[in-house]
A and B are shown apart, each in its own frame.
Chain A
Amino acid sequence: MTARTAEQPDPVTLVAFNRALAEHADGLKAYAARMLGDATAAEDVAQDAFLALYRHLHQVPAPAFRPWLYRVARNLCLDQLRRRKFKLSLFRDLQRDDDHAFSAEDPAAHAPDQLAESREANAAIEAAIEQIPPKFREAFLLCEMEGLSYEDAAAVLGCPVKTVSTRLFRARKRFQSLVSRLIKV
């Protein structure tokens, strides 16, 4: 741990921090959970991200809180994945894949409205998200699942906005092909 700064935030900044905490904690946890495949570790990541934000409130302007938090959460997740030596199969929890393998022959593949509400369908959709290649999956998680703008996602991923839109498109195509049996248009 690095030494913390002794400065206390001013009341306006503190209000902005509390608002960010109320608005983004759930999303941050969901993002980390999908990155790590582990809800408990994801909650720790979300908490670490907010702790880091609090310690750097004097450096981060309020409008940049959200991309800053996701950027930090991403760093923490990548660090954990490295430690777990899962770098080659980034974002893929092999055990979970074995348990909940999604296949086109999924017996639950019927009407999408009913399926989406069932646990089996949710597991199949989550499994499909996990199968998206990591590079594209990150853009999918940030933009599609968490609703970040392309610009914010670019700031999180450290790449141009155009790259985000391309990765998101590829992720969507992949996801669409993976869940095609669940979709009846």
Chain B
Amino acid sequence: MNCRTAHYDLSLCLDGRLPSGKRALLMEHVDGCEPCTAMWRELQAAQSLALRLPKQRVSSGFHDQLWERIQSGEGTPEAVFREPVPLASKVRYLLAGAAAAAAVLVALDVLQPATEKARNATDNAAQPRLVARGEAQLQDNQPSAAFASLAPLTPDLLAREAALQFRNNYVQASSQIAALEGRQAPSQGQPADPMVRSVCEHAVQMHDLGSVLLRLREDEHVTFSNPQVDAELRMMVQLLDEERLHRADMDAVRTVVAPALRRVHRIAGLPEDLRVRGIWTPAERQQVLMRISMDRPQVIGRLFYVMPGQSVVAQGVPTLDPQLQGRIFVFQDDCGTNLVAPRSTVANPATLLRISMPATGEPQQTR
């Protein structure tokens, strides 16, 4: 790899657009090349500088004036279409429109009466499904009625939970770093400070959760209303993508985590800045969730308490505690159907996550 190529790749890297394998090669080159190291640092610093500019806002009368113009029947300014839109863009808009239309059609399908849907399901039984094995297991045990009232897990829900957990990790890591700054450095041979390990664990989680959010954003499944939050998230994911974090020592905290956290100012607003799509076709929903669970299998467990559906139905058709309504969702992965509960909504999983079995009336504890 030559430095000229490396510099271009560093710009892509700054936007999280470099595949991990290529990124590793790039960082290997950067580590051994002084000019590229300087370039990488300066690119990050310049980006940080640009993003600290105060945000411009429209005036208070902007919205009222706009609605007045709309209601007065004012037409489109001619200059709007003075630049011809290239064919590629037209195709892009057309495809986006087709996707939106498909989403509406599938949403209508979801809303159709249950009896009709059941009839259709029978008709479609021979069609291939994304997750066949888990469904087959559940069909054997006839648990679908028990789960019928539960909503499916959606990428929107996952993104919101990821943003909340990202912030939790950020807040905890920040406070722990502040506490560590007042401590003396441990001498060699001393066991690692548990707080140091905790900071590194938070950093690894921030990297994983941030990567998932960025991937969802790249695929236009979510957006961030504040571009600065978007940029800070990108920067943090880049900075925390470090093998050193897995050593979980003070050096990793000092050289990786603390500098990364010092560079961000608005990331705590991530959950509020997250904008989700709201409408998903079952196929899209399943595809996106499956990809996340395959790419980063640890993330689902970090975001949700997971109860394998097979074990839930093993002793008969369960009745869910009414308290759990709206907090438990159905999620299918390649191991079958699971019930998942977002960690942020469950204060005490040992007592809350229980399923009453009608046969015995005994609550069954789940993990």
**Which residues on A are within 8 Å of B, measured CB to CB?**
1-4, 19, 21-23, 25-27, 29-30, 33, 39, 42-43, 46-52, 54-56, 60-64, 66-68, 71-72, 74-76, 78-80, 112, 116-117, 122, 125-126, 129, 143-147, 149-151, 154-155, 158-160, 165-166, 168-169, 172-173, 175-176, 179-180, 182-185
Question: Do A169 and B82 touch across chains, with their CB atoms under 8 A apart?
Answer: no
Contact of A54 among B52, B70, B92, B217 (CB under 8 A): B70
Bound-state CA distance A3–B75 (Å) is: 5
Say yes or no: B93 contacts A64, CB within 8 Å.
yes
Q: Give B residues with C-beta under 8 Å from A.
A: 7-8, 11-12, 14-15, 17, 38, 41-43, 45-59, 62-63, 65-66, 69-70, 73-83, 85-86, 88-89, 92-93, 96-97, 99-101, 217-218, 220, 223-225, 227, 230-231, 275
Closest B residue to A1 by CB, please name it: B75
Verify A68–B93 contact, CB threshold 8 A: yes
- Contact status B80-A145, CB under 8 Å: no
For the complex, what is the distance from the CA of A89 to the CA of B65, rounded to whole Å?
32
B interface: dominant SS:
helix
B7 touching A173 by the CB < 8 A rule? yes
- In addition to A42-B56, A149-B220, 8 A-B residue pairs with Cβ atoms within 8 Å of each other are A2-B76, A47-B65, A51-B70, A55-B76, A147-B231, A165-B11, A169-B12, A179-B49
**A23, A55, A125, A150: which contacts B53 (Cβ < 8 A)?**
A125
A3, A46, A63: the one contacting B96 at CB < 8 Å is: A63
**Chain B residue with Cβ nearest A169:** B11
Residue contact B227 to A27, C-beta cutoff 8 Å: yes
Residues from chain A with a CB closer than 8 A to the CB of B275 are 19, 23
Can you list 10 A-B pairs with a CB-CB distance of less than 8 A?
A: A25-B62, A43-B58, A50-B66, A67-B89, A71-B85, A75-B80, A112-B45, A112-B48, A122-B53, A158-B88
CB pair A125–B69 under 8 Å, yes or no, is: no
